[in-house]
Every structure is written in C-alpha cells, then in structure tokens.
C-alpha cells in the first residue's frame, strides 16, 4: 500500500512537470489526488482509523502533499479562471431560459381560463395524468427505497400544493396570484435554513422581508380585501411547495426529469381522490368541455410540465443555479401582461407596487452570494 501511495504521488508530480497544457495538467492532478484520497480512505478502514501508524507512509504523503498541493492549487486556480470565462450563458441558452418563463406563464394563463370549466383539483389531475403518460416511458424507475419518499413528495409538492394554488387561482386574478406565488422562493430559503441548516445571510434575509412586504401591499388591494381566502390558499400553496423542495433536497441523487415523471405518476391518483372528496360537478364539466379547454389541458401536461421542465433541467445541468434562476423573474412580468392583454384583467397601482417589491425581493434571494 505504501508503494501505491508513492507511485501515485510521483505520477502526479511528474504529470505537472511534463504537461505543457495547464488545463490538461489540472485535470490529471485532480484525478490523481482523488485516487490518493480513495486509497487513504481504504487504508483507514483496513487499519481501523490508525492511518498514519506507518511512519514511512506518513513521510511519503507529507512530502507529496508539500509538492502537489501548491502545484495543484495553481493549476486548478487557472482552470477555474478558464472555466469561469467560458461559463457565460450562450445566446441560445439565454433564449431557452426566457422561453421557460414564457411557457410557464402561458400555462398559468391557460389554467386560469380552464378552471372556469373544470374544478381546479380535477384540472391538475388531468395535467399530471398527461405528463405521466408521456414521460414515464423515457425514464428509469427510481430505486425501491426512494419510492415512498417520492410518493410523499408528490403528495405534498404536487397534490396538496396545486390543490391550494389553483383553487385560489379560480377566485383570484392571475396577475395577483402569480405575484403571491413568488413567496415560494423566500419560504424555500427560510425552510432550508431551518431544516437543512443552509446559510441564509443578510442579503437573503433582506430579500425575504422585501418580498413579504410586497405581498402585504397586494393584500390591501380592494379586490383582495373582499375575500382573503383565495389569497391565503395561494400562500398556503407556496409554503407547501417549499416544504416539498426541502424534501427533494434530502432525497438521494435522482435525475430531475425522472423525478418529475414519477411525481406525476403518483400525483395523478392522489389528485383524483382529492377531487372526488372535495369537489363536485366533475362529470358534468367533462361532458360539456369544448376542444379549447382540452387543448389547455394538453398544454399544461405536455408543454408546461414535460417540455418546460425538460428545458429547465437541461439548463441547470449546464450552468450554475444563480445563472439560470434570475430568468424566472420574467414569469410574473409575462403573467401580468398576459392577464391584462388576454384575460382583460385590470392592474392597479397597489398591485404594481406590491409586484415590484415581491419580484425585487425574490431577485435578491436568487442572486445573493452565500457568505463564506
């Protein structure tokens, strides 16, 4: 084992001396250092924690560390600069990120129109049924030990959350509802700090306060004051969504696209049962629904969920979250504009002020750097 350490350390040192390409040298060093760490971990398990009982190994590792670490840090630092320079989003990906906001905002407007025909929970049942029927054939089943957790995530972040949100949307202007939905972000940051011990930082705390103040302004809108229940339902939906996202973070590694597919599989029967328990008039709504309403259902399941999340997870795989998330700030802008132009909603100065504050707060949360 000692000879293995020596060979790995010498190989890493010789690599930095021979390679003229700093990028390749850094990659080689990374792999060698990882190999050394794996070997250390294996030896530690074999010796029951007495890792440095062999003095020769300790000396070899110490000498290798003195030689390798400065070289590796320098090479990796240069590589970080090189990768940082190339990490800017390409114009096509910027367009795709903006298109996700447009796709999701259009879905919100379609849903607002569709809840006039279908009970809200039944509408969401149709949405996830379409999504599951399309996606489940293209993803692998998750491990069995994750099935129960995904079932619970589907119940909380899909069945319960969408039941709250879209029941509230039925009696609330889309432009107001989408602004209130933005509370998902501060709720998520707060729960992550409490449950997952994520660092909040004063920037994010400030963003949370600003976002809540914005929603409080909207609560003063006369149309909202007449009936606070729809607004409270949307707020409850935002909080429930945040709970679901904390659970997703605690889930073992699983692809985002696979997660969406299997959440849809579980959410469909959950939503159907909820609709049968809490709603009425489902069969009459189905019989009288025109093709426009069914087209809206298809859009919600295929375009908003399957295509929208497909693009979204592709972008998250290419870029940092902080690079991609700010484009979702276009979502309330698109919905408010669509609510006015398509649905004929009116937007008061109070709603505009509250919306501006809420979006600004969410922007601070999503773009603030974590304290080191």
- The confidence score (pLDDT) of residue 40 equals 55
DSSP structure string for 80-134: HHHHHHT-SPPHHHHHHHHHHHHHHHHHHHHHHHHTTTS-HHHHHHHHHHHHHHH
Per-residue pLDDT, averaged over 206-229, amounts to 87
CA angle 241, 246, 140 (to 5 degrees): 90
136-183 pLDDT, tens digit each: 998 888 888 889 999 999 999 999 999 999 999 999 999 999 999 999
Percent of the chain with pLDDT over 70: 75
First and final CA of the chain: distance in angstroms? 37
**pTM recorded for the entire structure:** 0.72
Round to whole Å and give the CA distance between 110 and 342: 10
Percent of the chain with pLDDT over 90: 43
Question: Buried b vs exposed e over 167-186: b needs ≥16 C-beta within 10 Å?
Answer: bbbbebbbbbbbbbbbbbbb
- The confidence score (pLDDT) of residue 356 equals 93
294-331 pLDDT, tens digit each: 999 999 999 999 999 889 888 887 887 778 888 888 89
The per-residue pLDDT of the chain, averaged, comes to 79
Name which residue leads in pLDDT, 224 or 7.
224
DSSP H stretches of helix in the chain: 2-18, 22-46, 55-85, 91-114, 120-135, 144-154, 161-170, 174-181, 184-195, 201-219, 222-225, 229-250, 256-278, 282-288, 291-298, 308-318, 321-324, 330-341, 349-367
Name which residue leads in pLDDT, 259 or 35.
259
Rg (CA), the chain: 26
Please report which confidence band the pLDDT of residue 81 belongs to, taking 50, 70 and 90 as the band edges: very low
The answer to whether 111 and 296 have CB atoms below 8 angstroms apart is yes
Phi, psi (degrees; rounded to nearest 5) at 316 = -65, -25
- The confidence score (pLDDT) of residue 358 equals 92
**Pick from 93-102, 104-113, 185-194, 207-216: least confident:** 185-194
- Nearest to 110, CA basis, from 278, 301, 352: 301
The answer to whether 354 and 200 have CB atoms below 8 angstroms apart is no
Per-residue pLDDT, averaged over 112-139, amounts to 94
**Pick from 54-63, 81-90, 277-286: least confident:** 54-63
Round to whole Å and give the CA distance between 267 and 124: 9
- The confidence score (pLDDT) of residue 61 equals 32
Burial class for 285, CB neighbours closer than 10 Å (0-12, 13-18, 19+): middle
- Write down the domain spans for the chain: 2-85, 91-367
The answer to whether 224 and 231 have CB atoms below 8 angstroms apart is yes
């Amino acid at each position: 084992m000692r000879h293995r350490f020596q060979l790995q350390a010498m190989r890493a040192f010789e690599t930095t001396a021979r390679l003229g390409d700093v990028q390749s040298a850094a990659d080689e060093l990374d792999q060698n250092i990882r190999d050394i760490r794996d070997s250390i971990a294996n030896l530690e398990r074999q010796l029951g924690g007495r890792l440095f009982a062999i003095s020769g190994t300790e000396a070899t590792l110490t000498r290798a560390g003195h030689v390798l670490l400065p070289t590796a840090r320098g090479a990796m630092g240069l590589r970080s600069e090189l990768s940082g320079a190339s990490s800017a989003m390409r114009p096509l990906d910027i367009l795709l990120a903006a298109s996700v906001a447009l796709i999701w905002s259009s879905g919100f407007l379609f849903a607002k129109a569709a809840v006039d025909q279908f009970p809200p929970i039944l509408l969401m049942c149709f949405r996830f049924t379409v999504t599951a029927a399309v996606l489940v054939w293209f993803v692998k089943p998750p491990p069995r030990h994750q099935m129960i957790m995904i079932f619970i995530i589907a119940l909380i972040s899909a069945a319960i959350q969408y039941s709250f949100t879209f029941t509230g949307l039925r009696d609330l202007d889309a432009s107001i509802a989408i602004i209130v939905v933005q509370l998902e972000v501060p709720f998520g940051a707060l729960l992550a700090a409490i449950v997952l011990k994520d660092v909040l930082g004063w920037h994010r705390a400030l963003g949370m306060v600003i976002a809540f103040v914005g929603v409080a302004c909207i609560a003063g809108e006369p149309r909202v004051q007449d009936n606070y229940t729809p607004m409270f339902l949307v707020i409850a939906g935002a909080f429930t969504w945040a709970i679901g996202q904390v659970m997703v973070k605690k889930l073992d590694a699983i692809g985002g696209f696979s997660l969406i597919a299997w959440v849809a599989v579980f959410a469909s029967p959950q939503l159907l049962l909820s609709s049968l328990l809490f709603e009425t008039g489902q069969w009459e709504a189905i019989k009288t629904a025109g093709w426009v309403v069914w087209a809206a259902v298809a859009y919600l399941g295929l375009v908003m969920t399957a295509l929208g999340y497909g693009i979204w997870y592709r972008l998250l795989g290419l870029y940092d979250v902080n690079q991609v998330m700010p484009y979702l700030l276009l979502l309330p802008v698109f919905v408010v504009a669509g609510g006015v132009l398509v649905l004929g909603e009116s937007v008061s100065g109070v709603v505009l002020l509250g919306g501006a504050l809420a979006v600004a707060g969410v922007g601070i949360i999503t773009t603030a750097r974590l304290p080191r």
